[in-house]
């Protein structure tokens, strides 16, 4: 009679052993992460623009000065230009500081420019790139204003900039800006 009791005790011990023993599985190695490609723009055609530039333009019958400094920033993804235009007449008695970013959008195969100013101004423009010694930028802002900007490389240390802007009411203004490189 001991046999059924032993079988029962053995079965109970075996069942407890199964429940108490953790299940063993073979761990799968974690999949290797897929690196996100970081394709940086080819700024070689624009590298002459890096450095400090002194620019002037005729505005309201007076020469308006400004100074721009361009560097490569944001891990090589953007050309960053800091511009300072001091007050110059009775209509504008405060300096305007602006920052512009120039990069390349491979999806649309266009250079892009984004600019914001301390006076609340902003703009977005695109360009297909350099055609010889000129690059043409075009943009249309949310307020209905638009513009075209043709920059000509005179040399590695001199540019001219012929800009045509049309405000939301349709008034057109033409401006020519001359710039000379003053520092690296």
CATH of the domain at 83: 2.40.128.20
Higher pLDDT, 64 or 3: 64
**pLDDT of 159 higher than 90:** yes
Neighbour count for residue 153 (Cβ, 10 Å) = 18
pLDDT at 62: 81
Distances 43 to 70, 80, 102, 155 between C-alpha atoms, Å: 12, 12, 10, 17
Side-chain-side CA neighbours of 125 within 13 Å: the count stands at 25
Is residue 27 included in any domain, yes or no? no
Three-class DSSP category at 9 = helix
Distances 48 to 60, 141, 156, 180 between C-alpha atoms, Å: 31, 28, 6, 11
Is residue 28 included in any domain, yes or no? no
**CB-count exposure of residue 23 (10 Å: 0-12, 13-18, 19+):** exposed
Region 68-89 average pLDDT: 93
pLDDT at 47: 96
pLDDT at 22: 54
Is residue 21 included in any domain, yes or no? no
85-126 tens-digit pLDDT: 988 778 878 899 999 999 999 999 999 999 999 999 899 999
pLDDT at 103: 97
Is residue 33 included in any domain, yes or no? no
**pLDDT of 14 higher than 60:** no
Higher pLDDT, 31 or 157: 157
- The gap from C-alpha 152 to its chain's centroid, in whole angstroms, comes to 23
- The gap from C-alpha 32 to its chain's centroid, in whole angstroms, comes to 30
pLDDT at 39: 85
Beta strand ranges found along the chain (DSSP E):
51-59, 62-73, 78-85, 96-105, 110-117, 122-127, 130-131, 134-140, 146-155, 158-166, 172-183
Is residue 175 included in any domain, yes or no? yes
Q: How confident is the model at residue 25 (pLDDT cuts 50, 70, 90)?
A: low
pLDDT at 6: 45
Is residue 40 included in any domain, yes or no? no
User: What range does the domain containing 54 cover?
Assistant: 45-183
Q: What is the pTM of this model?
A: 0.77
Is residue 35 included in any domain, yes or no? no
pLDDT at 2: 52
> Looking at beta carbons, which pairs linking 72-76 to residues 24 or more positions away fall under 8 Å?
72/43, 74/101, 75/38, 75/40, 76/40, 76/41
Is residue 4 included in any domain, yes or no? no
How many domains, in total, are found in the chain? 1
Region 124-137 average pLDDT: 97
Mean pLDDT of the chain: 87
**pLDDT of 26 higher than 80:** no
Percent of the chain clearing pLDDT 70 (strictly above):
86
CA dist 137 and 144 (Å) reads: 17
Phi, psi of 20 (to 5 degrees): -80, -20
- Cα radius of gyration (the chain): 33
Higher pLDDT, 50 or 87: 50
């Amino acid at each position: 009679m001991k046999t059924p009791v032993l079988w029962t005790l053995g079965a109970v011990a075996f069942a407890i052993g199964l429940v108490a023993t953790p299940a063993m599985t073979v761990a799968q190695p974690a999949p290797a992460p897929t690196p996100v490609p970081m394709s940086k723009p080819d700024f070689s055609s624009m590298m002459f623009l890096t450095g400090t530039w002194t620019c002037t333009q005729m505005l309201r019958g007076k020469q308006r000065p400004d100074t721009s400094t361009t560097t490569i920033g944001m891990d090589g993804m953007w050309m960053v230009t800091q511009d300072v235009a001091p007050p110059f007449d009775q209509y504008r008695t405060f300096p305007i500081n602006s920052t512009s970013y120039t990069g390349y959008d491979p999806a649309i195969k266009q250079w892009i420019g984004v600019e914001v100013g301390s006076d609340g101004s902003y703009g977005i423009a695109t360009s297909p790139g350099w055609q010889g010694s000129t690059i043409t930028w075009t943009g249309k802002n949310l307020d209905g204003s638009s513009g075209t900007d043709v920059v000509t490389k005179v040399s590695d240390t001199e540019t001219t900039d012929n800009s045509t802007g049309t405000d939301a009411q349709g008034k057109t203004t033409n401006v020519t800006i001359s710039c000379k490189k003053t520092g690296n």
